[in-house]
């Protein structure tokens, strides 16, 4: 008796068999899943509806604020011949530059400040007194002033150096005296 060969299972056969099993499971479980989905939708529909209604107000406000910007951007995208045929009311209004506004306000403020300072100066007389007037110092020769200040600074520095040297000598003498006293005290102890 001849031996029978077994049929080889290919990958395709395995996939088809798995597909048939899955299709049978889906057909069996479809009514149950459909009922569960219907129940979930009916219970959550009022909650979702309320959330959507509450967000519609916010979206409406945002859309109202962005509508001119969207209108202008859509108008810019139109071809020139189409944009020319639109009525003037449909064309977006040109925005004035914020920089121009700031510059104009700055110029007005500067002009106002200048006028104010001129009027105040005329009404109150001279408010600024240059240094040196009435102090007995002649400012006509600034080099002399600098030389005098330098000489005075040198004198002060020399005096400070002399005082520091005297203090150092005094400190050395005090240290020597303390060392002699300590030596005498050590000799007395012996």
What ranges do the domains of the chain cover? Answer: 11-94, 96-125, 145-190
SS (H, E, C) 31-58: HHHHHHHHHHHHHHHHHHHHHHHHHHHH
Nearest to 132 by CA among 151, 143, 145, 147: 145
Neighbours of 75 (CB within 10 A): 14
Please report, for the chain, how many H helices and E strands are present, in that order: 4, 0
DSSP 8-state code for residue 86 = S
Asked whether residue 73 carries a pLDDT value surpassing 80, the answer given is: no
Joined tokens for residue 164: 């520091």
pLDDT (tens digit per residue) in 74-108? 777 778 777 777 777 666 666 667 778 888 888 88
Look at residues 107, 69, 72, 115 and name the one whose alpha carbon lies nearest to residue 91.
72
**pLDDT tens for residues 112-152?**
888 888 777 666 655 556 665 555 555 566 667 677 777 88
What DSSP element (H or E) covers 95? none
**What is the 8-class DSSP label of residue 130?**
-
d(C-alpha 48, C-alpha 51), whole Å: 5
């Amino acid at each position: 008796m001849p031996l029978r060969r077994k049929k080889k299972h290919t990958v395709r056969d395995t996939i088809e068999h798995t597909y048939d099993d899955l299709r049978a499971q889906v057909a069996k479980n479809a009514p149950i899943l459909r009922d569960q989905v219907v129940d979930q939708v009916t219970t959550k529909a009022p909650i979702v509806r309320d959330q959507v209604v509450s967000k519609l107000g916010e979206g409406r406000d945002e859309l109202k604020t962005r509508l001119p910007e969207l209108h202008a951007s859509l108008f810019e995208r139109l071809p020139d011949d189409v944009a020319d045929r639109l009525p003037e009311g449909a064309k977006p209004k040109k925005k004035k530059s914020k920089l121009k506004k700031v510059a104009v306000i700055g110029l007005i403020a500067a002009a106002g400040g200048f006028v104010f300072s001129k009027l105040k100066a005329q009404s109150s007389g001279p408010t600024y007194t240059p240094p040196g007037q009435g102090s007995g110092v002649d400012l006509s020769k600034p080099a002399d002033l600098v030389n005098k200040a330098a000489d005075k600074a040198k004198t002060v520095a020399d005096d400070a150096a002399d005082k520091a040297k005297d203090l150092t000598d005094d400190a050395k003498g005090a240290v020597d005296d303390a060392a002699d006293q300590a030596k005498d005290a050590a000799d007395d102890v012996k």
